[in-house]
A and B are shown apart, each in its own frame.
Chain A
Amino acid sequence: MTEIIRLTAAEIAAKVQAREVSAVEVAQAHLDRIGAVDQAVHAFLHVDTERALQAAKAVDEDVAAGRPAASPLAGVPLALKDVLTMQGAPTTCGSKTLEGWQPPYDATVTTRLLAAGVVILGKTNMDEFAMGSSTENSAFGPTRNPWDLDRIPGGSGGGSSAALAAFEAPLAIGTDTGGSIRQPGSVTGTVGVKPTYGTVSRYGLVAFSSSLDQAGPCARTVLDAALLHEVIAGHDPLDSTSIDTPVPPVVAAAREGANGDLSGVRVGVVTQFAGDGYQPGVSAAFDAAVAQLRDLGAEIVEVSCPSFDLALPAYYLIAPSEASSNLARFDAMRYGLRIGDDGTHSAEEVMSLTRAAGFGAEVKRRIILGTYALSAGYYDAYYGSAQKVRTLIMRDFEAAFAKVDVLVSPTTPTTAFKIGERADDPMAMYKADLCTIPSNLAGNAALSVPCGLSEDDGLPVGLQIMSPALQDHRGYRVAAAYEAARDAAQGGPLIHRVPELEVAH
């Protein structure tokens, strides 16, 4: 039998239902793997062995009793990004300010996962409050990329992407505000999907930038991502921005795509996302992927989206502005870190001391940026203008989607960079999200699917596929078709080319 941890989620679920393997064995295999490699990778901030085994046992009992599976993912382990609340475990968001905070309620995504019989192994590392592209901004130390432990696994959801690439979990949940699911997916050779804004509930997702944040599935295959997508998506009355509409048929699209026929599909290549600043190996892998899509029958056209050049600056006004307000609640008064409460400091001083000690440099930088951008007299010039850019970007997408079914680009301009390489250069770090940000600003669906290894450094490259809002299934179809062709051409899944990690004993 194939080693359990290398199975896909779909395979695991099928084997559990067929009683070829028990959910407890599956959970234990992954917990063992975490025990063996996570000291080196540091994907997890919290692992709950007992609870995972208990959840797995419940699935096995259902199977034994002949009860129908709670979902197509019953018994499949999952790594949950530490920005979503789950009772009984701490939610830290990678910040000292929330170290040890035990939320008294479950995020809607968590509730749906538990109801689906998904076995949550623990909480994954992330850039503090999801601010970053490398997971170096975690207060609890960086996560390392299983492809090269000296490199970053992307961010902010580097813990989730690394857990997948290190075979610590077949599924993970990420959140994507400017690319925090897709860019980690790209640099770890895994699949990451940002669903249409409003289709996955944000209730219980600790907000970074409310109008941009969106939780989504992370997996090693397109089908697994689709299966997870259907578990977590759907209308939630607890989230006012949740859209009351059926979940797009992403699983059916992934299965259809796997047949490998893309005839009649029009694919637009975004001309703005190429050229200077793009690593040659990334450009080459991307071009090869586009050629592959053409071979599958897709019609390839170039599409210009001129406003996309303004996306990055607009994002760095909108996201910090909302963050400056969202993070105001971390004031030591009700929960979390409290510094200076020794009878000699006023409440205001305690707030100030706690925020100084509890937030890292990048979080402070963005709070200051956002506070400034929202200030009286600057609002129109900064926040107001950025919102206008947002409208322009939406119009670019609208015009593009009038001509093509999906848009494609590299997910991020480079492969995984070295830990520490961009730590002192925020602008270089911010550019990692250049291609992913437009879909956050416009709210449409976008995903990253691995498209081979860069010829210059042998590291994974991601193909981004963008779909119109609520047309998430289009991206899945194209991605699944591409994935099948890629694996067929290369003689097996790309992710299996990840180097063997040294196993701790």
Chain B
Amino acid sequence: MSATVELMDYDEVLERFDPVLGLEVHVELNTHTKMFCGCPTGFGAEPNTQVCPVCLGLPGALPVVNEIAVASAIRIGLALNCEIATWCRFARKNYFYPDMPKNFQTSQYDEPIAFNGWLDVTLDDGEVVRVQIERAHMEEDTGKSLHVGGATGRIHGAEHSLLDYNRAGVPLIEIVTKTIEGTGARAPEVARAYVATLRDLLKALDVSDVRMDQGSLRCDANVSLMAKDATEFGTRTETKNVNSLRSVERAVRHEMTRQAAILVDGGSILQETRHFEEAGGTTRAGRRKETSEDYRYFPEPDLVPIAPTREWVEELRATLPEMPEQRRKRIQAEWSLTDLELRDLINAGAVDLIAATVDAGATPAEARSWWVSYLSQSANSRGVELADLPITPAQVAAVISLIADGSLTNKLAREVVDGVLAGEGEPDEVVEKRGLKVVSDDSALYAAVDEALASQPDVAEKIREGKVAAAGAIVGAVMKATKGQADAKRVRELILERCGA
């Protein structure tokens, strides 16, 4: 049993201390091949099937830099308002661990490709916090270890370990903030919003899958507290294994309350790596190192320096997409949304879906209506994210277009959507297979209209007398007779025509 961890009340923490944050985000790039070899990078392949002499670090093998990865790194740097190095190198970070084939990681060290940038982060209430970016540098990912047996799932105490080198050599960009101070009570929220904003930015750049659940976006949160009257930063901890946006916020908050309790008790904070535990929202200490790690960095002699020409940097700058923040502002104006409506769409993860639906030809109002109502309900009932529904914005736009041209009624359209969600194919295939097309053949409708008028002569008479409103009853009868597949508007026209009204 571990001792109960004392936590201080959050408000009291803020009365006594100022939190100081530093966030390190690792992004796996979505390049087709690895950082230094031609192996594929796809997630989820059979273990050790995406490897070669280079990423296995076999004797004699040599790295060659992936140019697309460098381009991605520069684009990320530019999007983060960084300066781009005119000349920089890779270094070797030396340490022994079985999931690292060469026992050194090829990583940039004191010469990052991008540095001195910033990112504006908008909090829920609209407050904007500018986070200063220290650097963005390139490195390679390690393999994955699975420690079998033992209580902790760590290498110590394990009976044996399984190693998968598929991930070894996948390009990573590490983005490091400068210290974030003065955010007070909002520190956990700022941390979360920063990672969320960065995620959206990277997604817009199309440089990464940015899936925190799959590890393609990982955040290490450095947290320290500074007493109100202090002039120097306190000792920080670095919390790893923070695998969701919510966890970022919880991890920072937990560390603040944990550290504060230790400090007011006269204790001191150990500079250490801690692991976030999702279940309790707590952090636990990593393995204590007896000596401080000395990575013995030195410039990687197997690679030549990278010296991006200014022309190339400008070419890459020209490829930057509209940044998410600007895009949101534009969308808000174009779709005539209130701040609240926009935030709801963002929180629902619907903005991109609606935008894509609009791009596929739908009007913003219709696109929005489908995604926030019927499709949101479908997602809820399936227990999935909106984006994970098995329907594409293009398919939604196709359904909307079928309504617009009178081929479908709203009710039929929902059935078509259900069919697409059920995997029955494209909307027009579903219409075909389920026989959902609106009856638009007037001769068939004339027959139905005549029959309905004949069976309700009193109503027919009223219409002929000019009481057009009475037509509703006949429309209803026709719709019933055609099992709802008729276009009600057309039915009404035909009734009025027949009655000479």
Interface positions of A (Cβ within 8 A of B): 84-85, 91, 93, 98, 101, 103-105, 107, 202-207, 209-211, 237-241, 321-322, 324-325, 328-331, 333-335, 346-348, 351, 371, 374-376, 379, 383
Contact = CB atoms under 8 A, between A and B. Distances in A.
A333 B298 contact: no
A335 to B, nearest CB: 7
A347 B161 contact: yes
Given A210-B301, A328-B94, A346-B156, A239 B101 contact: no
Contact of B60 (A203, A241, A351, A379): A203
Contacts of A239: 62, 64
Interface stretch (B51-59, B186-194, B221-229, B457-465): B51-59
Contact of B301 (A322, A335, A371): A322
A202 B94 contact: no
Q: Max chain B CB contacts within 10 Å: which of A205, A240, A321, A331?
A: A240
Contact of A203 (B62, B101, B102): B62
Contacts of B96: 328, 331, 348, 351
Given A331-B96, A379-B297, A379-B298, 12 more contacts: A104-B53, A104-B58, A205-B60, A325-B94, A325-B298, A328-B96, A329-B102, A330-B59, A334-B56, A334-B101, A347-B98, A376-B294
Contacts of A209: 301
A203 B65 CA distance: 14
A321 B298 contact: yes
Interface in B47-75: 53, 56-65
A107 B302 contact: no
B155 interface: yes
Interface string B246-287: 000000000000000000000000000000000000000000
Q: What DSSP secondary structure best describes chain A's contact surface?
A: loop
B64 A211 contact: no
B155 to A, nearest CB: 6
Given A240-B303, A325-B94, A375 B296 contact: yes
B163 interface: yes
Q: Max chain A CB contacts within 10 Å: which of B58, B59, B65, B98?
A: B59
Contacts of B64: 237-240
B395 interface: no
B118 interface: no
B93 to A, nearest CB: 10
Interface in B274-322: 294, 296-298, 301-304
A280 B374 CA distance: 97
B63 A240 contact: yes
Contact of B65 (A93, A240, A346, A347): A240
Contacts of B298: 321-322, 325, 374, 379, 383
25 contacts: A85-B60, A91-B59, A105-B58, A203-B62, A204-B60, A204-B61, A205-B60, A207-B60, A207-B302, A210-B301, A210-B302, A239-B64, A241-B303, A321-B298, A328-B103, A328-B104, A329-B102, A331-B98, A333-B163, A334-B101, A346-B156, A347-B161, A351-B96, A375-B296, A379-B297
B240 interface: no
A329 B59 contact: yes
A202 B62 contact: yes
B218 interface: no
A278 B158 CA distance: 59
B163 to A, nearest CB: 7
A379 B94 CA distance: 14
B167 interface: no
B199 interface: no
A316 to B, nearest CB: 16
B139 to A, nearest CB: 16
Contacts of B163: 333
Given A105-B58, A206-B60, A240 B302 contact: yes
A324 B295 CA distance: 12
B92 interface: yes
Contacts of A210: 301-302
A376 B93 CA distance: 12
A240 B103 contact: no
Sorted nearest first, the 6 A-B pairs with minimum C-beta distance are: A328-B103, A374-B296, A210-B301, A211-B301, A206-B59, A204-B60
Q: Max chain A CB contacts within 10 Å: which of B56, B98, B304?
A: B98
Q: What DSSP secondary structure best describes chain B's contact surface?
A: loop
A207 B275 CA distance: 37
Nearest to A350: B98
A313 B300 CA distance: 21
A375 B102 contact: no
Interface in B198-217: none
A176 to B, nearest CB: 16
B59 A103 contact: yes
B65 to A, nearest CB: 7
Given A322-B301, A346-B156, A240 B62 contact: yes
B53 A105 contact: yes
B60 A329 contact: no
Contacts of B161: 347
Contact of A328 (B62, B102, B156, B301): B102
A334 B163 CA distance: 10
Contacts of A93: 59
A85 B104 CA distance: 22
A84 B60 contact: yes
Contacts of A376: 294, 296
Nearest to B59: A206
A257 to B, nearest CB: 33
A331 B301 CA distance: 21
A205 B59 CA distance: 8
Nearest to B159: A343
A333 B163 CA distance: 10
B296 A325 contact: yes
A496 to B, nearest CB: 36
B151 to A, nearest CB: 15
A205 B96 CA distance: 23
Contacts of A335: 58
B240 to A, nearest CB: 21
Given A328-B102, A333-B163, A203 B61 contact: yes
Contact of A331 (B58, B103, B304): B103
B103 to A, nearest CB: 4
A113 to B, nearest CB: 15
B59 A98 contact: yes
A381 to B, nearest CB: 14
B150 to A, nearest CB: 11
A369 B334 CA distance: 67
A330 to B, nearest CB: 8
Contacts of B301: 209-211, 241, 322
A167 B373 CA distance: 87
Contacts of A324: 94, 296
Given A240-B304, A351-B96, A107 B60 contact: yes
Contacts of A84: 60
A371 B297 CA distance: 11
Contacts of A205: 60
Contacts of B302: 207, 210, 240-241
Contacts of A203: 60-62
A286 B294 CA distance: 48
B62 A85 contact: no
Interface in B82-115: 92, 94, 96, 98, 101-104
Contact of B103 (A85, A329, A371): A329
Contacts of B303: 240-241
Nearest to B53: A105
A371 B104 CA distance: 13
A253 B302 CA distance: 31
A441 B61 CA distance: 22
A237 B36 CA distance: 12
Contacts of A211: 301
Given A210-B301, A240-B64, A329-B59, A347 B155 contact: yes
A210 B92 CA distance: 12
A266 to B, nearest CB: 32
